[in-house]
């Protein structure tokens, strides 16, 4: 019985930390989204105050654009972000409580705790894979296609965006608001890297409006899409790990994940950061007419470089955790997430 004590303590520790939201659906999200939609469709007109919550605001008259309709930026965009934050909460709840249980059982995940973690990762996998595909579709029509760094400055500053690009950026903004809320409210069990994740949310929530209002949204494509691709592969890999995969599945997938992480987060991230460090300040000095007010360019450049640099440091920290897993995998151990708490490791061993 002495050997069972740590397992029991681990289980009690995990159960104590979990919140009710981990185990029950939250109808408030569905009701809120339905109320906004009903409120708009009761009077479906642009003058309806709920219109900017559902549809993009600030269209530029077509006579002023050479191709498709462009959209400007303004405070109504915050309403759009707020509504789609609710939509993402509803989507998260639906996947976790109505899709994940069925899929988890079909994958052989029967332990209640693993099912909870599986549901969290499944939502992440679906969201990031969908947005990565959407982002690549948007990028395909821009000079930045597949991280062409000189293309970042074509048409700079980007004061207007086409509908797809603007929707992509604002929905991503809604996602980071949601992710921050999940973390700060403790809606999911903390991992070992929670402090770094909180810092990541702070940096991201600072960078999103800064990049948007500095009209440098092409940089967002080069930053967000690589993160989405690697995050999708990470989350899907976690789903696989909870199903107890064989080495024939675990090692090839882990190799794919590590390779993609290094390429997208570090190679692409480094060349994006270097471009920002060396090319961006001259560009903003010229286009904003700051030749005689260099302090403005210096301040904006310093802020953006600092934020991007902080993200690179955090990515380096996560890479160090990944390399620890690589070292264990090289020794023949099936890859496990280094971010898991000791309690979770005990539960992994007990199943």
Burial class (CB in 10 A: 0-12, 13-18, 19+), 60: middle
246 phi and psi, to 5 degrees?
-80, 165
Cα separation of 89 and 99, whole Å?
Answer: 15
How much is the pLDDT for 338?
A: 59
Beta pairing partners, 71? 59, 161
Cα separation of 229 and 128, whole Å?
Answer: 7
Under the banding of pLDDT at 50, 70 and 90, the label for residue 69 is confident
How much is the pLDDT for 189?
A: 76
Higher pLDDT, 17 or 58: 58
pLDDT for residue 24 is more than 80: no
pLDDT, one tens digit per residue, over 136-163 is 999 998 999 999 999 988 888 888 999 9
Q: Please, what is the average pLDDT of the chain?
A: 83
**pTM given for the model:** 0.85
pLDDT, one tens digit per residue, over 296-331 is 788 888 899 999 999 999 999 999 988 888 887 776
Handedness of CA 202, 206, 207, 209 (dihedral sign): positive
pLDDT, one tens digit per residue, over 165-214 is 999 999 999 999 999 898 888 777 777 777 888 888 899 889 998 889 88
Could you give the percent of the chain with pLDDT greater than 70? Answer: 83
pLDDT, one tens digit per residue, over 240-293 is 888 876 666 778 888 899 999 999 999 999 999 999 888 888 888 777 777 667
Contact 163, 71 (CB under 8 A): yes
């Amino acid at each position: 019985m002495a050997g069972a004590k740590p397992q029991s303590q681990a289980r009690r520790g995990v159960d104590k930390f979990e919140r009710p939201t981990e185990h029950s659906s939250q109808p408030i999200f569905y009701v809120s989204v339905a109320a906004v939609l009903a409120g708009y469709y009761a009077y479906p007109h642009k003058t309806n105050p709920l219109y900017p919550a559902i549809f993009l605001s600030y269209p530029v008259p077509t006579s002023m654009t050479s191709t498709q309709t462009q959209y400007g930026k303004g405070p109504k965009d915050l309403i759009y972000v707020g509504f789609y934050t609710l939509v993402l909460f509803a989507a998260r709840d639906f996947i976790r409580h109505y899709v994940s249980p069925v899929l988890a059982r079909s994958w052989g995940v029967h332990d209640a705790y693993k099912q909870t973690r599986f549901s969290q990762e499944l939502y992440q996998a679906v969201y990031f894979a969908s947005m990565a595909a959407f982002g690549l579709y948007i990028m395909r029509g821009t000079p930045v296609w597949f991280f062409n760094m000189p293309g970042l400055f074509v048409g700079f500053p980007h004061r207007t965006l086409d509908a797809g690009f603007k929707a992509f950026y604002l929905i991503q903004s809604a996602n980071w608001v949601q992710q921050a809320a999940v973390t700060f409210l403790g809606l999911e069990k903390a991992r070992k890297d929670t402090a770094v994740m909180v810092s990541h949310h702070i940096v991201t929530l600072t960078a999103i409006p800064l990049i948007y209002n500095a009209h440098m949204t092409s940089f967002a494509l080069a930053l967000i899409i690589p993160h989405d691709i690697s995050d999708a592969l990470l989350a899907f890999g976690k789903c696989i790990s909870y199903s107890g995969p064989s080495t024939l599945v675990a090692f090839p997938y882990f190799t794919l994940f590590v390779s993609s992480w290094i390429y997208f987060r570090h190679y692409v991230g480094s060349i994006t950061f270097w471009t920002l460090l060396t090319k961006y300040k001259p560009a903003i000095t010229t286009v904003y007419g700051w030749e005689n007010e260099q302090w403005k360019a210096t301040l904006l450049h310093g802020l953006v470089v600092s934020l991007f640099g902080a993200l690179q440091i955090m990515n380096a920290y996560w890479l160090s955790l990944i390399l620890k897993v690589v070292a264990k995998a090289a020794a023949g151990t099936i890859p496990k997430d280094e971010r898991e708490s000791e309690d979770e490791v005990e539960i992994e061993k007990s199943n």
